[in-house]
């Protein structure tokens, strides 16, 4: 269709032009709105790339296992959506570019267990996050929501890991004194103590040590796998009684707050020279709060065990092989928390009660079992924290009384959680992740 006299080609096509005066006065330069919009969208995509580079540098993705495996989880979730061959090429190319920039700025990779998987997967995860962000930014209005949901699922685990690191780092300044000496003295009442026993076991069996260390560092990758199962259920309209994503986030927030009640770092930081071969004597050892090195105060309660227990519990009605992998992950993580010297046995004892409280609080049901589980989990968690902070736990007799109380603290929360699962199932709720 020919344009009318005095009408530009852009206006004839139905596009509203923007006029700018050039060197030749009276000859307008026409810049169409779609071209300007694409420019703005491209700037947004470049900003996303810049933010990813900044975060990778600030949190040392090449050296911090927690962040590296968290971003690797984003790549795993993206793979689960079955990207095309073209998208895979773009992911690899973007990841290589991010890696080149990172090594140009830092030039080294940290020495941690699973660093090959974490480093390669981390940069591929950055490529996935950039590609998913671009697909969301450039998508038509009708498809933006769908693209955003995939981006959100892929980005939540890296975001949770980064927020955890920031929060734990801030807690170092908030809690200069820790209760490590008291927790160590309490652990001695179990005999051993357990961290030293498993630590020596690791040194004697290198394969067990390596498997547990990999499991400990790759926790975010396990979380990402469960998040993908949750996302797939939502796509298939399977309703779960509790949202695993928000349970994981809630557990992280509540766990950080509880760190401040009884702050502790772990036996490997309390006795770095003695662990795990020489068991220090408590004779003359004060159990009062004392200054600690500038290391994370994230021992009490153990969120590594709590998160893995939460993942395991929410896979109980999955296929047998998923339950098996989750169970192995849980056992290896629990052993790693002790054998690597990051936690005391008391830290692990509180984890089941905390998981019961979080699971019950996030369950979308009004059955009475919900309130029973919430009350039991909250009470056990707070009672142990109060007993350990005040030193009242030291009054518990060693041997059978202490072990019985510890086992009860683990079995009772799991029992009420089982009751809650049956009640929600009877009310027609699926227990899938």
CA–CA separation, 270 vs 285, rounded Å?
12
Measured in residues, the chain has a length of 433
Going by C-alpha positions, the residue among 181, 187, 186 that lies closest to residue 199 is: 187
CA–CA separation, 390 vs 383, rounded Å?
11
8 A C-beta contact, residue 121 and residue 70:
no
Residue 431: per-residue pLDDT:
45
- Parse the chain into domains and list their residue ranges: 38-154, 176-426
- The 3 state secondary structure assigned to the chain is CCCCCCCCHHHHCCCCEEEEECCCCCCEEEEEHHHHHHHHHHHHHHHHHHHHHHHHHHCCCCCCHHHHHHHHHHHHHHHHCCCCHHHHHHHHHHHHHHHHHHHHHCCCCCCCCCHHHHHHHHHHHHHHHHHHHHHHHHCCHHHHHHHHHHHHHHHHHHHHHHHHHHHHHHHHHHCCEECHHHHHHHHHCCCCCHHHHHHHHHHHCHHHHHHHHHHHHCHHHHHHHHHHHHHHHHHCCCCCCCCHHHHHHHHHHHHHHHHCCCCCCCHHHHCCCCCCCCCCCCCCCCCCCEECCCCCCCCCCCHHHHHHHHHHHCCCCCCHHHHHHHHHHHHHHHHHHHHCCCCCHHHHHHHHHHHHHHHHHCCCCCCHHHHHHHHHHHHHHHHHHHHHHHCHHHHCCCCHHHHHHHHHHHHHHHHHHHHHHHHHHHCCCCCCC
Low-confidence ranges of the chain (pLDDT < 50): 1-32, 430-433
Going by C-alpha positions, the residue among 236, 376, 234, 225 that lies closest to residue 315 is: 225
Helix, strand or coil for residue 192?
coil
- Residue 329: both structure tokens together: 């992950």
Whole-number average pLDDT of the chain: 86
For the segment 11-68, what is each residue's pLDDT rounded down to a tens digit?
A: 444 444 443 444 444 444 444 457 788 888 889 989 999 999 998 888 888 888 888 9
Pairing of strands 17-21, 177-178: unpaired
30 CB neighbour count, 10 Å cutoff: 14
Which residue matches tokens 């996050």?
129
CA–CA separation, 259 vs 381, rounded Å?
12
CA–CA separation, 338 vs 342, rounded Å?
6
Helix, strand or coil for residue 63?
coil
Residue 428: per-residue pLDDT:
62
């Amino acid at each position: 269709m020919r344009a009318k006299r005095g009408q530009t080609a852009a206006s004839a096509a139905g596009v509203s032009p923007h006029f700018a005066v050039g060197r030749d006065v009276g000859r307008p330069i026409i810049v169409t709105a779609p071209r300007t919009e694409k420019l703005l969208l491209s700037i947004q995509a470049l900003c996303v790339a810049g933010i990813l580079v900044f975060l990778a540098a600030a949190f040392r993705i090449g050296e911090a296992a927690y962040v590296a495996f968290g971003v690797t989880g984003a790549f795993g979730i993206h793979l689960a959506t079955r990207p095309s061959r073209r998208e895979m090429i773009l992911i690899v190319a973007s990841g290589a570019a991010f890696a080149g920039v990172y090594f140009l700025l830092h030039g080294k990779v940290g020495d941690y267990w699973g660093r090959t998987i974490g480093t390669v997967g981390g940069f591929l995860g950055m490529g996935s996050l950039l590609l998913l962000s671009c697909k969301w930014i450039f998508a038509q209005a009708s498809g933006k929501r769908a693209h955003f949901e995939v981006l959100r699922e892929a980005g939540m685990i890296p975001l949770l890991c980064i927020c955890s690191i920031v929060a734990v780092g801030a807690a170092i300044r908030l809690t200069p004194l820790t209760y490590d000496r008291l927790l160590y003295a309490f652990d001695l009442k179990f005999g051993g103590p357990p961290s030293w026993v498993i630590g020596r076991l690791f040194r004697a069996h290198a394969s067990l040590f390596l498997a547990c260390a990999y499991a400990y560092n790759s926790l975010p990758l396990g979380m990402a796998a469960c998040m993908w199962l949750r996302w797939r259920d939502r796509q298939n309209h399977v309703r779960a009684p509790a949202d695993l994503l928000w349970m994981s986030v809630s557990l992280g927030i509540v766990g950080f707050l509880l760190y401040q009640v009884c702050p502790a770092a772990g036996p490997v930081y309390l006795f770095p020279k003695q662990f795990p071969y020489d068991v220090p004597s408590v004779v003359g050892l004060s159990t009062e709060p004392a200054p600690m090195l500038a290391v994370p105060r994230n021992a009490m309660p153990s969120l590594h065990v709590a998160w893995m227990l939460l993942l395991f519990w929410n896979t109980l009605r999955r296929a047998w092989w998923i339950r098996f992998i989750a169970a192995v992950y849980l056992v290896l993580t629990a052993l790693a928390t002790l054998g690597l010297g990051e936690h005391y046995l008391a830290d692990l004892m509180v984890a089941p009660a905390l998981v019961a409280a979080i699971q019950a609080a996030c369950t979308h049901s009004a059955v009475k079992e919900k309130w029973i589980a919430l009350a039991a989990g909250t009470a056990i968690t707070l009672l142990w924290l109060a007993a350990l902070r005040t030193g009242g736990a030291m009054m518990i007799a060693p041997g059978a009384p202490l072990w019985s109380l510890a086992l009860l603290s683990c079995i009772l929360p799991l029992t009420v959680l089982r009751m809650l699962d049956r009640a929600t199932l009877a009310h027609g709720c699926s227990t899938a992740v």
